[in-house]
Structures are given as structure tokens and as C-alpha cells.
Amino acid sequence: MTQNGQLNWVFADGNLPPHGENPDLQGHEAIIVTNLNETPARLSFDIYFSDREPVKGLTYTLGAERVNRFRLDKPFCDQGYKIPYGQYSLVLHSDVPVVASFERLDVRQSNMAYITVQGYTY
């Protein structure tokens, strides 16, 4: 079987926006992880901040041939950690290669911004 993806991903531009005033369209960020393997992927997330110590070792098992979208404005991973609003970086480690991307919906202005990017892999 061909291995698709990478083991380590860095998303350096986290900046969790507040939800905004429209309850139907909430500002948020998310990490989307796809496991194309025939075995589950054991994921580990580390969160880095400019003004506090990092939070390391948040865990989640992603099933074989599955995808999960982790909303970062809500509690996530097995530990139910919620990232505080503001600047951070996220590092994702996996025991099998996975594909990951990052998205942000910022609704602080009426001309909202939506971005999606691939992370840096190593």
C-alpha cells in the first residue's frame, strides 16, 4: 500500500477569532486531518503560545480511512482542551502518515475572511 501524507505538521499562524455577532455564522479555526491508511492514526497535538507555556500531548485516535475536522474554538481531543482566543501555533504528530489542512473563518467585519492552507511538514 502506498503511504500518503506526512507524520509531522506545523500550522504556525493560529489566531483564533471571536465568534462575532451572527449566531448562524461563527468565527472559528479548524484542523482537518485525513487518514488514508488501513490502520488507525494515533494523533498528538502540541499548542504553542507567545505569552504562556505550551500545552503538549493532546491525543486523539483517527480511524482507518477516516477524516475528522477539529473545531479549535470548541473543546477537542481526548482531553477536551479549548484553545484561548488569540495567537498560537499548532503542531500535529501522527504515528502513520496523514494529510492535514487548516481553515479560519473570521467574521469580525461584514466582509468576512475565509482561508484554508496546508501546513509545513517535516
Average pLDDT value for the chain: 87
User: How much is the average pLDDT of 95-109?
Assistant: 84
Q: Are residues 58 and 14 in contact, defined by beta-carbon separation less than 8 angstroms? A: no
Q: Which pLDDT score, from 0 to 100, does residue 110 have?
A: 64
Q: Which pLDDT score, from 0 to 100, does residue 28 have?
A: 73
User: How much is the average pLDDT of 81-99?
Assistant: 94
Q: Which residue has the cell 491508511?
A: 37
Q: Rounded to two decimals, what is the model's pTM?
A: 0.86
Single out the residue of 30, 28, 48, 53 nearest to residue 88, CA to CA.
48
The string of DSSP codes covering 100-118 is: EEEEEEE-SSSS-EEEEEE
